[in-house]
Every structure is written in structure tokens, then in C-alpha cells.
Chains A and B, each alone.
Chain A
Amino acid sequence: MIHNLPPGLLMIFGGLLIPLFYRRAQSALPLILSASSLVLFLLTPSGEYGEINLFGQSLMMVRIDSLSRIFGIIFHIAAMVSSIYALHLRDTKQHVAAMIYAGGAIGACCAGDLITLFLFWELTALSSVILVWASNTESSYRSGMRYLIIQVGSGVLLLSGAIMRYNETGSIQFDLLLQPSGAMSWGTLLIFLAFGIKCAFPLLHNWLQDAYPEATVTGTVFLSAFTTKLAIYALARGFAGAESLIWIGCAMTLFPIVFAVIENDLRRVLAYSLNNQLGFMVVGIGIGTELAINGTAAHAFCHILYKALLFMSMGAVLHRVGTVKATELGGLYKSMPWTTLFCVIGAGSISGFPLLSGFVSKSMILTAAAEEHQFWVWIVLLIASAGVMEHSGIKIPFFAFFAHDSGQRPKEAPWNMLVAMGIAATFCVGLGVGYPWLYKLLPGEAHYEPYTWSHVVTQMQLLLFAALAFVVLMYSGFYPAELRKINLDTDWLYRRLLPNILGRLGLTIYAMDSGVRQGVMALVRAVIRSLGLRFGEHGVLGGTWSTGVMAVWATILLCLCLLINYL
């Protein structure tokens, strides 16, 4: 029965067959595969399928419930939109990698046990790195290596945690992993850490800002949709209501917005922005109420689309201009009006303007925090909302398409990119206006009414006055100018500090080693010289002795033997 096969498997195996087709046909296959897989997924009723026995353990390869359903649907939509965006691409390996990656993420969010989750978890890591390496630059190769080590490391932690949990509880089921008291065993803690790495928790986050901007134009769009949202799904499944997530999420919403202010590479700005948006979702999971989990799922759904839209618009700029550095851009609206429009819709959506998707989903999480009387969490999320307005709402469209005129007059984006951006933009508006449609997909009953007077007015106050602050800072000259600089983040620890420490350690060991070697060699030489003096040609013991002397010594030795014998 086809239900027993994990959803996404069609995309994985179909993706492997792509190289067998004509090069011109290859780019259309991801779209066909994603659409077919979506139809199959929608036709599969909720339930548990694909039970197999492995080493005496029962694995439930497929478990589809309302939570995996919404993530499965949005992953399919993201794969389809991204495939349209990549229709112009003539690079077989990217098409194959993208399909395996998307299929792996879909399979993971429908995994019923931790081992199946681990397999798909690692598959997403291994396939997605191809999208980084496909840029074919030295920096993308190095960045991809770092990305791969961290992602595979996350999988290893997941597997170790699963084995430890099996020893602790005798089960590898992937359900709520928290104990009722909220405590975590060592195995659960490892799984939490594995999810945290993939979710870009603070201090574990920098693989995201390091690798995503290094990927190809189309690769980043795929990357933005799956890896981190798979982690959000896994956290929502396994750790809903874990209080620590509230504070981790708060930190995630705050620190990236400060980095985003001064970042020159606009795709890296979007990577920081992605990190900030994940923070909202992590807070929602930590709160854990029905509204909060609904808000998290809704936010993930909307976020995937508007974030993909923003990455697509910057990808179009990169495709046409060859750079996305704010210092090199400006004035592009004149020759790329459609891309500008779509980017502005994405920016409005992520900022949470009414009638756009972010307004609905983000407010669910804020209201969930307010309903639990989490005043400081609510305040932090408000600051983060103003920060989102800064880096994604204003900075991205302003410095790319307006600001100072760079004199660049590139052609408008290719038609397929415009179609993909148009679809994502339509979703942004459609979900903002037709939110009841989104509510039907949410894991819990949704009654939240986003369009109240109070909510619309206060949100407009926040956004408009944030925009006013931007104008004031620009006119007063306090807004930091874009500079051709990079900014150190935690990647400095393993890109500079650790190699330096290891380098110095290596030098010290080398110096000690050569010191010891020289000392030993000097000793050996001294011994040889000394032996040479005694046993050499002219040495006392090595020289030729006369027969008389020999006879005397032989007599002395014999006498000694006799003496010893009689003693």
C-alpha cells in the first residue's frame, strides 16, 4: 500500500532519476515531482503507516496528524514555488539535491519514531550541502564544509539521544519527549540539543548566516524553507511547553536584529532575519498553549512563504546584478519594478502589516504570550517586531531598490522567477485576508480574531512610528551607513580562535618535539662519540693488544673465577 511509504519518497527517488532525462527537461521535473507528491500527500488520510521491525524494534515510518499535515503541506508548496523559481537553471546536481532535500524534510516531518526521523534528518543535511557547494567558489566550499559538519553533528546527537532514550524508557517513539514535570533526561537533552542546532538557537546559530548566503541563487530559496522549519516542527512535537524555550526564543528574536542592522550582504541580513523569526516560533512552542502552538504552526506556514519571497527577490538581484551587497545596490526599482513590488509585499508581510500574512500569525504568538500574562516576553516580542520592521521591512527593499542610485540598470528578473515570486506574494496577501483558510490547517481549534480595532491600530502605530524613526535617523545622519565590511559572529570562534589555538598548540608541540628529538640526538651522538673513543680503532678497548697483555688479562680473569668459585 502506498500509504506505507514515507511522504516525500517520491521526490527523493524521482530526484535521483532526474539525470536520466534530457537536460532541457530536467528543470521541469522538480515541479512535476513536488506537485505529484503533494497530491499523494493530500490523498493519504491521517494515521500511522509503514510499521517495520528492525533489530527487534518496531519503527513507525509514517505518522500523519494535524501537526505533520500542516508542515507537510507547506513543505510541498515551498518545493513547488522554489522549483518554479529554478526553472531556468541548467544544473542537474542542484535539481537532484533540491528534490532529495525537500523530500527528506517532508519524510522527517511525518516520521513516527526517532530512528526514521534521524535518517531523514541526515538526508536533509547531506543533500542540502550540495546547494551550498554548487556556487563553485572557495568560500562556498569552506562554508559548506562547516555547514555539513554542524548538521551531521546535529544528527549524531539525535541518534545518540534516541539510543539513550531507548535505554532509559524502552521506547523510540517520537512524541512529547518532556516528562510531565518538565525535566529532561540525558538522552532527551541530547535530542533537545540536536533540534536546537538545526533550529539555530543562540550561540548554535551561526551556521545559518554562514552557509545560506553562500549558496546558489536558487539554492538559498530551498534552504530557507526546510532545515530550520523542520527543527521547529520537531520542537513543537517533542518539547511543546518547555519553559526554557520561551527564554531561548526571546534571545533568538533579539540578537539577530542588531547584527542585521550593520550587515552589508542583504542575503545575510535575511539569514539574520530568519533567525529572528524562528525566535517567535520557539517562544510559541515554549508557551505551549493551544493558541501558541497554533500560532507557531501558522507562523511557520506564513514565514516559509514570505521568507522565500524575500530570498527570491534578493536572488533575482544577485542573478541580474551579480551582488547583493547594499553598498553596491540602489535604484533598482527603475529597471526591476516587479521584483521591487514582490519584495515590498514580502517585507510588509514579515513586518506584520494588516492584510498580509505575518500580521495574522505573529499576533497569535504575541496574544498567546499576553494571555499567559508573560509581560516581559510580550515586551521582547514587541521590540523584535520593531526590529523586523528595521531589517526586513525597510532595510532590504530600501537599500536594494531605492536609496542612493547605484546607476545599475539590470534587466527585470526572468519570467519564471517573477511567476514564483508572484505566487508567493499572492499567498502573503491571501493568507492575510483569507486567514480562516489557514485556520483549517492548524493543529488545534482556532478562534483567534486578528482584525480587531485595537489590534490593527496598535500594530499600525508600532510599524508607522518605527518607519518614522528610520526617517528621523536618516535625516539626522545617525543611521549607520552601509560599509564594505563583514561582522564577526560566533563563527569567529571556530574560524579564527580555534584554528589559532590549535595552530599555536601545534607549534608548541612541534617545538617541544624537535627539542626532545635534538636532545636525544645529542645524547646519542655523545654516546657514539664516547664509544668511539673507547672502542674505536685507537680506543683503549678497540685497539689491537699484544699477546702478553692478553695472557696477563686472561690469567687475572681465571684467578677471579677461581676466587669466586671458592667463596
Chain B
Amino acid sequence: MSEQENTEAREMPDGWFYQPANIRLLVFGLVVACVCAVSAQFLYTDDHPHFEVEQWHGFQAVFGFLAFVVVVMLGKALRMFVARPEDYYDS
């Protein structure tokens, strides 16, 4: 019985986080939050920047995005060299 339930769950995931409309809503919310975070930089001036780049508008936004992409891509590249079957050390 429980196996049957599991199979059904795999075929058609239910739950709030699996509804396409809700996923779109979450992504939309994230985009809005990103826009707000960049816009909020207009509301103040950083009086004590340590580096010049801190004064560039949206520096950390661009940096965060690029750093994330680079880290993930480096991971993908690394996998080509270091990935092995799970029983590698057993054999």
C-alpha cells in the first residue's frame, strides 16, 4: 500500500512547493527582492567605504551572481577529474 502511495507521489508530486504557479510566484518574489536590494542602495550613502568598489552601485549584487556561477562551473569542471563510482575504494 505504502509502495503504491510512493509511486503515485513520484508520478504527480503534490504540495505547495511543487505547483508551477507557486514556483513562479517564488521566483517572482526573488526577482522583486533583488530589485529592492539594488534600489535600496539609493537610500543611503556609505560614509566609510574601505575600498573603492564598495561605492560602485550594485557591486555585491553582480559579484554574488558571478561568484555563484563561477563556483558552480568550477565544480562541474572538477567533477570531470575527481568523480568516481561509489564503490571505487571497495574495488
Contact = CB atoms under 8 A, between A and B. Distances in A.
Interface of A: 257-262, 331, 333-334, 367, 370-371, 373, 375, 378, 382-383, 386-387, 389-390, 402, 404-409, 453-454, 457-473, 478-480, 483-489, 495-496
Contacts of B61: 461-462, 464-465
Contacts of A468: 30-31, 34, 65
Interface of B: 2, 5-7, 9-10, 13, 15, 17-18, 27, 30-31, 33-34, 37-38, 40-41, 43-44, 46, 49-51, 54, 58-76, 78-79, 81-86, 88-89
Contact of A405 (B18, B63, B68, B73): B18
A458 B54 contact: yes
B51 A370 contact: yes
30 contacts: A258-B71, A261-B72, A370-B51, A375-B51, A402-B17, A404-B13, A405-B9, A405-B10, A407-B7, A407-B10, A453-B43, A457-B44, A458-B59, A461-B34, A461-B37, A461-B38, A465-B61, A465-B62, A465-B64, A465-B65, A466-B65, A466-B67, A466-B68, A468-B31, A469-B68, A473-B69, A478-B72, A485-B85, A487-B78, A487-B84
A488 B78 CA distance: 10
Contacts of A488: 81-84, 88
Contact of B30 (A262, A386, A471): A471
Given A405-B18, A409-B6, A457-B44, A386 B67 contact: yes
Contact of A464 (B34, B41, B63, B74): B34
Which among B7, B15, B50, B54 has the highest number of chain A CB atoms within 10 Å? B50
A-B pairs, 9 with minimum CB distance: A261-B75, A386-B67, A370-B50, A462-B64, A405-B13, A469-B68, A407-B6, A461-B61, A465-B64
Contacts of A496: 89
Contact of A386 (B31, B64, B76, B81): B64
A404 B12 CA distance: 11
A331 B13 contact: yes
B64 A463 contact: yes
A487 B83 contact: yes
A289 B81 CA distance: 40
Contact of A373 (B50, B64, B81, B89): B50
A182 B63 CA distance: 34
Contact of B64 (A367, A454, A469): A469
A371 B49 CA distance: 10
Given A370-B50, A468-B30, A495 B89 contact: yes
Given A375-B51, A468-B34, A457 B7 contact: no
B84 A259 contact: no
A282 to B, nearest CB: 20
Contact of A486 (B9, B18, B88): B88
Nearest to B85: A485
A50 to B, nearest CB: 45
At the interface, is chain B mostly helix, strand, loop or mixed? helix
A524 B69 CA distance: 72
Nearest to A373: B50
A459 B15 contact: no
Most B CB contacts (10 A, CB to CB) among A260, A367, A386, A464 go to A464
B75 A486 contact: no
A382 B71 contact: no
A480 B58 contact: no
Q: Name the residue among A258, A389, A470, A479 with the largest chain B CB count within 10 angstroms.
A: A258
Given A258-B78, A382-B67, 14 more contacts: A258-B71, A262-B76, A331-B13, A386-B63, A387-B71, A389-B68, A402-B17, A409-B5, A462-B60, A468-B31, A469-B65, A478-B73, A485-B79, A488-B83
A461 B58 contact: yes
A487 B70 CA distance: 19
A535 to B, nearest CB: 57
B79 A262 contact: yes
A166 B49 CA distance: 46
Nearest to A387: B71
Contacts of A460: 33, 37, 40
B53 to A, nearest CB: 8
Given A382-B63, A387-B71, A469-B69, A464 B30 contact: yes
